[in-house]
Amino acid sequence: MSFLEIKDLSFSYGKVPVLKNINATIPEQATTALIGASGSGKSTLLRCINRIFELYRQHNVSGDILLNGHNLLDKRVNINVLRKKIGMVFQKPTPFPMSIFENIAFALRLHEKLNKKEMHERVEEALKRAALWDEVKDDLHKAGAYLSGGQQQRLCIARTIALRPDILLLDEPTSALDPISTSKIEELVLKLKKEFTIIMVTHHLQQARRLSDQVIFMHDGRIVESGDNHSFFSAPQEKLTQEYLKYQSEE
Amino acid sequence: MDLLQGTIGFKRRFKNRLFSVSCVIAAAIALLFFLLILFFLIKNGMTHLNLTLFTQDTPAPQQAGGLRNAIIGSIMVSGLGIIIAAPLGILIATFLANFSGKGRLAKTVRFVNDVLLSTPSIVIGLFAYSLCVRPFGHFSAFAGAVALAMIALPMITRSSEDVLYLVPSMLEESAVAMGIARWRITFKIVYRVVSSGLITGSLLAFARISGETAPLLFTALNNNFTTLSFLKPVATLPVVIYQFALSPYKDWQNIAWAGALLITVAILLLNLFARFLARK
């Protein structure tokens, strides 16, 4: 049985359909890249998986998203527990207005009862796994906003994995970063996929190629083609995919 | 194409000049009036500014005295007014900016707020009178504070809403995505990001209501003695200035000048402090 399974998922904001009958399976402990042009619905698909779309009104969702057989879209699901299990990192770094330590401890404290020592261990562990510990270990009390953009983004990854989620949703996590910070995040993603199931939206074909095991190509709210990294990039079947790959590689 | 060749025509340059000069003149007129007010206040008030102003209560005609009861009363009434209005205004603004979406209720609240913002203060005073004075049978500092709170409320709501829109939605989303309850996100993250803006809005509202006269005439009324009770009528600076300035007694007029200088400088300093906070 596959880990995460999306069945007949349709989604609309008001009367505007954004996702049209999506079916996909996401393999465990691997990276799935969602690619496609702006407006193709890949971010929306990501935002369905942790139900963050519910922040906004007038959405309409149908279909199932099954995590180990349980439907995430079921209204009875405890949404806060769901979001602990499914972490998300956004396009831009979003450090909370508090210290580096508190950035990680803040949500952790709400989800788990930890004593002071355990809390310190978890914060350290999270920062180490996010490859940020060595850079900030002496500045844990400093505000998260003092870090560089790339460090802030790794802080956001650290506080997300501190909750020990099963799935990591990455929404173009490097789009606001310089090339060096980007390559650090990419290294990190390669390391993290051994422990987490990662679903990543990206605009960079090369990034998708470097990082992903599986690729899903979307266009106009539908999945055009999906497959494992090698076959998707070397022998795309659909005409739309071929055109997209060609157009992007020319850039 | 040679960028250095050809000049902008005389007519266009003239129009451009005319416009910028008009803007400068308009700004100068505004500044001139402000400086004139300040000049007259200093000229007439400075000589009567002394320590007894702070240590003695308002005197009977043709006797020496100060403004202690009015200064304390003003701080009490305006302070309680802000204590009532600030939390309420910030919560309303939070509803409008973060929780209402584009709903009809939000539109209605925003419209009512705009109406309240432009309601004459004398009308608000009468309303507070019928709400907090008539039923209890006596004037009180509390009634004055309620009237001032109603003037401050729409100002704080408006300024807080504007400030709350500055919080990037992605910051809130990223907290929601960690399974943190929204009320906690609002208090621990959103308010913290814009705290200086929220405080600035409330300080400006405080500066504004501390100069209000009309709504206090029917509510806080006046008192010749210092009181710390919110259930009794109290003197306030604007009301005492109003009463003393119109009196035929020279001593009272002098105290009124000193009081006017005092409150103007206080409001000026409050504004400067609020701006300083907003810049931080």
Which pLDDT tens digit goes with each residue over A21-50? 999 999 999 999 999 999 999 999 999 999
Percentage of residues of chain B with pLDDT beyond 90: 89
Q: Residue B251 in 3-state DSSP?
A: helix
Percent of chain B whose pLDDT exceeds 70? 97
- Tell me if chain B has a CB within 8 Å of the CB of A87: yes
Q: How confident is the model at residue A247 (pLDDT cuts 50, 70, 90)?
A: confident
pLDDT tens digits along A163-196: 999 999 999 999 999 999 999 999 999 999 999 9
Does the pLDDT at position A1 exceed 50? no
pLDDT of residue A24: 95
> Cβ of B177 and A52 within 8 Å?
yes
Note the pTM of the prediction, 2 decimals: 0.89
Q: Can you tell me the distance from the alpha carbon of A181 to that of A3, in angstroms, rounded to the nearest whole number?
A: 31
**Mutation target vs A (from B105, B170, B174, B189; most A CBs, 10 A cutoff):** B174
Q: How many CB atoms lie within 10 A of CB A201?
A: 25
The tokens of B92 are what?
Answer: 């309303």
- DSSP code of residue B9: -
How far apart are the C-alpha atoms of B238 and B235, rounded to whole Å?
Answer: 9
Determine whether the interchain pair B180/A80 forms a contact, defined as Cβ–Cβ distance below 8 Å: yes
State the Cα–Cα distance between residues A51 and A126, nearest whole angstrom: 24
Tell whether B107 lies on the interface with A, counting CB pairs under 8 A.
no
Which of the residue ranges A239-243, B3-7, B96-100 would you say has the lowest mean pLDDT?
B3-7
B177 CB within 8 Å of a chain A CB: yes
List pLDDT tens digits, range B235-277. 999 999 999 999 999 999 999 999 999 999 999 999 999 989 8
The number of C-beta contacts closer than 8 angstroms across A and B is: 68
Measured between alpha carbons, how far is B58 from B53 in angstroms, rounded to an integer?
9
Residue B58 DSSP symbol: P
**SS3 assignment for chain A:** CCCEEEEEEEEEECCEEEEEEEEEEECCCCEEEEEECCCCCHHHHHHHHCCHHHHCCCEEEEEEEEECCEECCCCCCCHHHHHHHEEEECCCCCCCCCEHHHHHHHHHHHHCCCCHHHHHHHHHHHHHHCCCHHHHCCCCCCEHHHCCHHHHHHHHHHHHHCCCCCEEEEECCCCCCCHHHHHHHHHHHHHHCCCCEEEEECCCHHHHHHHCCEEEEEECCEEEEEEEHHHHHHCCCCHHHHHHHHHHHHC
Task: Test B180 with A90 for CB contact under 8 angstroms.
Answer: no
* Residue B210 DSSP SS3: coil
**Interface residue A98 vs chain B (CB under 8 A):** yes
Contact A94 B170 (CB under 8 A): yes
| Residue found under tokens 């990591």 | A168
What per-residue confidence (pLDDT) applies to A251? 59
Distance CA B170, CA A52 (A): 11
CA distance A159 to chain B (A): 9
Does residue B170 belong to the interface with chain A, where contact is any CB pair within 8 Å?
A: yes
Using CA atoms, how far residue A238 sits from A3, A194, A244, in Å, is 26, 31, 10
Residue B164 pLDDT > 90, yes or no? yes
Tens of pLDDT, residue by residue over B11-43, are: 888 999 999 999 999 999 999 999 999 999 999
Distance from A72 to chain B by nearest Cα, in Å? 14
Nearest to A90 by CA among A165, A166, A201: A201
Asked if pLDDT for residue A62 goes beyond 70, the answer is yes
Contact A162, B179 (CB under 8 A): no
Token code pair at residue A231: 């076959």
pLDDT of A3 strictly over 90 = no
**Contact residues, A window 146-175, toward B, CB-based 8 Å cutoff:** 156, 159-160, 163, 169
- Residue B85: which pLDDT band, with cuts at 50, 70 and 90? very high
Residues of A in contact with B184 (CB under 8 A): 110
Whether B102 sits inside 8 A of A57 (CB atoms) is: yes
The mean per-residue pLDDT over the stretch B123-142 comes to 96
Average pLDDT of span A8-16: 92
Name A4's bridge partners: A26, A67
Backbone angles phi, psi at B246, to 5 degrees: -85, -5
Please name the member of A88, A91, A92 whose beta carbon is closest to the beta carbon of B177: A88
pLDDT over threshold 70, residue B4: no
B107 contact residues in A (CB cutoff 8 A): none
Nearest-CA distance from B198 to chain A in Å? 15
- Quick one: pLDDT at residue B167? 95
